[in-house]
Structure 1
Amino acid sequence: MLVVTGGAGFIGSNLVAGLNERGRGDIAVVDDLRDGRKSLNLADLDFADYFEFDDFEARLLAGEDLGIEAIFHQGACSDTTEWDGRYVMANNYRYSVNLLDYCQARGIPFIYASSASVYGAGPTFTEDRAHERPLNMYAFSKFAFDQHVRSRQGAFKSQVAGLRYFNVYGPREQHKGKMASVAWHFNNQIAADGECRLFAGSDGYGDGEQRRDFVYVGDCVAVNLWLWDSGTAGIYNCGTGRCQPFNDVADAVIAWRGAGEKRYIPFPDELKGRYQSFTEADLTALRAAGYPHEFATVEQGVPRYLDWLAARET
């Protein structure tokens, strides 16, 4: 049995879909369905079992043998505005350590979600301690687990691999609300008001010219599955390796819809000093490990995403 934690969430449900495409339905989904809307991400997918995340953790801590072949650990509190450190560390750090310990005791591959947020404001996005300075509690929890993994490298008995996701967008993110991608928000804004709203200039960037490494979720799934197939261990960036301005995302949405305008709004005071105005994955380590595939640009990925959304609406 394969386990996908956060399996009803954004990247997790796309991983379930990717495994289904390989003919794998022997999947246990682990999640927190107090927000039952996430279940819609699984309505068209095949899986064999479901566990609430706390029940799953309790079973592992009790030493129960669930016949697990591999764990893809995508579950976390992903709200970057959550400052309850005890809550975030319990859900993102300690939970991850417990899953890792279980996998190590049984020789189970463990592939987990880290985050590019560990780099803070940058400007260098290389998998090196010297470039890591998280700016919020979510980022700190991911940084802390990466630190834990590093402290145990050389002693692992089975594969342990982490992926530092950059700005992921694509299908099955509709439940994320304010934390959904700008592609999602821009599309909804244009549908409702005929315009999408971008931040005015900040941090030396022009209007809408703050730059991020926007990565299509299907590419993230491909990297996860390649890691598992190859048995590659380590912590790697998962982005396209190229930054693009928010204007490019807006332009791609407008081009797909054939209508829409851009409007620039003042940069929020509450985000000053806590906002990544530039991200760009350094893919040197991932390429050196042998990952062969290219990543979709915004111009390629956004229409693919909007095609998927349109098909779901019909």
Structure 2
Amino acid sequence: MIIVTGAAGFIGSCLISKLNEENFNFIIAVDDFSKIEKAPNLEGKKIQERVERSAFFEWLDQNYYEVEFIFHIGARTDTTEFDRDVLEELNVRYSQQIWQKCIDYQIPLVYASSAATYGLGELGYDDNESQIPQLKPLNPYGESKNDFDIWALQQEKKPFFWAGLKFFNVYGPNEYHKGRMASVIFHAYNQVKASGKMRLFRSHHPDFKDGEQMRDFVYVKDLLEVCSFLMHHRRNSGIYNLGSGKARTFKDLAINTFTSMGLEPNIDFVDTPADIRDKYQYFTQANMNKLRSIGYTKPFHTLEEGVKDYVQNYLSKEAYY
């Protein structure tokens, strides 16, 4: 059995599809299944059992001997969530319990961290574990992810294999339910479909022209390949960046969305909201050397390739992965 937490969400549901493609069909899907807007993400997938998030540890205590691997993808991922108690409970304490169970039952673990831990990138975007305690996330969500990374690194007892993955700007199918937290590409497609144009934030930084703010956009299918590699590799425990390794501009993203829809670009610029302007990231780019150094050799989708696949094979067809 392979456990996937956050199973009904964007990345978790895509991961189950990837595992099914590799003939792993005894999947234990863990989530809060009361959120019906996520239900379509699991339709047609081969799942052995659905376990409510609140009942998971009791289930694991009774079934641990059948569990081969845990992917802990579930979290409160809303970057506008300011209830620190909720974030502490779901992103820190719950993860700590999973960590301890993996030690007790000798289960390998991959968990989702976040590039939100890097803040404004004052220390760069290198997955150097010695720098993690010095990082300055910009919001409580990023803080909660960094708090768990720090805690994990401090532990004397660790799972025999574990990896924390700092996801950068992930985009791809199965994010229909995410609302404002969905990727910029998802919102771009829907804006263009509705109005024929797209709005981007104007730059308020002298070093960046309008639309030339840069992010490391990573296609979810690349993330799934890395998860599969780590499940089979099971060596070189630690915390790893997971981006494309190549920063691209929002203007590039917009143009590729129009192109994938067979349309000429039509872009407007609007002011970045004042309440987030001083915390706005103008550049992120994952240093991927560490993952490459342990033997991961597959190429990542370019932005052109990823956007085309997402738009033409999923968004335009309202299809799921």
The interval holding the TM-score normalised by the smaller chain is over 0.9
For residues 24-63 of structure 1, the C-alpha deviation after alignment (integer angstroms, 9 at most, x for no partner) is 1100101112321111001121111001111113444xx3
The separation in 1 between residues aligned to 2:57 and 2:82, in whole angstroms, is: 23
1:298 equivalent among 293, 296, 303? 303
User: What does residue 227 of structure 1 align with?
Assistant: 230
The separation in 2 between residues aligned to 1:178 and 1:246, in whole angstroms, is: 17
The separation in 1 between residues aligned to 2:243 and 2:159, in whole angstroms, is: 28
| Structure 2 gaps, min length 5 | none
Give the deviation of 1:220 after TM superposition: 0.3
Give, as a single letter, the amino acid of the residue that structure 2 aligns with 1:15.
L
Counterparts of 1:147-296 in structure 2, within 5 Å, are: 147-152=150-155, 155-204=157-206, 205-232=208-235, 233-259=237-263, 260-296=265-301
**Is the 2:109–2:159 contact (alpha carbons within 8 Å) kept by the matching residues of 1?**
no
For residues 74-99 of structure 1, the C-alpha deviation after alignment (integer angstroms, 9 at most, x for no partner) is 00000000010011110000000000
Residue 63 (structure 2) pairs with residue 65 (structure 1) = yes
User: What does residue 18 of structure 1 align with?
Assistant: 18
Give, as a single letter, the amino acid of the residue that structure 1 aligns with 2:249.
P
Q: CA RMSD in A?
A: 1.5
Report the CA distance shift for 1:127/1:313 in structure 2 as closer, same or farther (over 3 A).
closer
Residue 143 (structure 2) pairs with residue 145 (structure 1) = no
For residues 146-173 of structure 1, the C-alpha deviation after alignment (integer angstroms, 9 at most, x for no partner) is 00111126x3242111100000000111
Number of residue pairs matched by the alignment: 311
- Percent identity for Structure 1 against Structure 2: 39
SS of the residue 2:62 aligns to: coil
For residues 162-216 of structure 1, the C-alpha deviation after alignment (integer angstroms, 9 at most, x for no partner) is 1000000001111111000011000000000111110001233211111000000
SS of the residue 2:194 aligns to: helix
For residues 252-288 of structure 1, the C-alpha deviation after alignment (integer angstroms, 9 at most, x for no partner) is 0110112251111111111122222210001111111
**Is the 2:108–2:159 contact (alpha carbons within 8 Å) kept by the matching residues of 1?**
no
**Is the 2:99–2:159 contact (alpha carbons within 8 Å) kept by the matching residues of 1?**
no
The separation in 1 between residues aligned to 2:33 and 2:196, in whole angstroms, is: 34
**Is the 2:79–2:140 contact (alpha carbons within 8 Å) kept by the matching residues of 1?**
yes
TM-score by length of 2: 0.93
- Higher mean alpha-carbon deviation, 42-51 vs 303-312, is at 303-312
TM-score by length of 1: 0.95
**Is the 1:116–1:164 contact (alpha carbons within 8 Å) kept by the matching residues of 2?**
yes
The separation in 1 between residues aligned to 2:58 and 2:138, in whole angstroms, is: 31
The separation in 2 between residues aligned to 1:289 and 1:17, in whole angstroms, is: 25
For residues 224-276 of structure 1, the C-alpha deviation after alignment (integer angstroms, 9 at most, x for no partner) is 11011100311100011110000111000110112251111111111122222
The separation in 1 between residues aligned to 2:31 and 2:204, in whole angstroms, is: 37
**Is the 2:213–2:249 contact (alpha carbons within 8 Å) kept by the matching residues of 1?**
yes
- Higher mean alpha-carbon deviation, 63-72 vs 5-14, is at 63-72
Give, as a single letter, the amino acid of the residue that structure 2 aligns with 1:209.
E
The separation in 1 between residues aligned to 2:281 and 2:177, in whole angstroms, is: 23
The separation in 1 between residues aligned to 2:159 and 2:112, in whole angstroms, is: 20
Give the deviation of 1:119 after TM superposition: 0.4
**Is the 2:171–2:183 contact (alpha carbons within 8 Å) kept by the matching residues of 1?**
yes
User: What does residue 126 of structure 2 align with?
Assistant: 126
For residues 10-35 of structure 1, the C-alpha deviation after alignment (integer angstroms, 9 at most, x for no partner) is 11011000000011110010111232
The separation in 2 between residues aligned to 1:95 and 1:22, in whole angstroms, is: 28
Report the CA distance shift for 1:88/1:203 in structure 2 as closer, same or farther (over 3 A).
same
**Is the 1:28–1:47 contact (alpha carbons within 8 Å) kept by the matching residues of 2?**
yes
Give, as a single letter, the amino acid of the residue that structure 1 aligns with 2:243.
G
SS of the residue 1:65 aligns to: helix
**Is the 2:91–2:144 contact (alpha carbons within 8 Å) kept by the matching residues of 1?**
yes
The separation in 2 between residues aligned to 1:133 and 1:97, in whole angstroms, is: 21
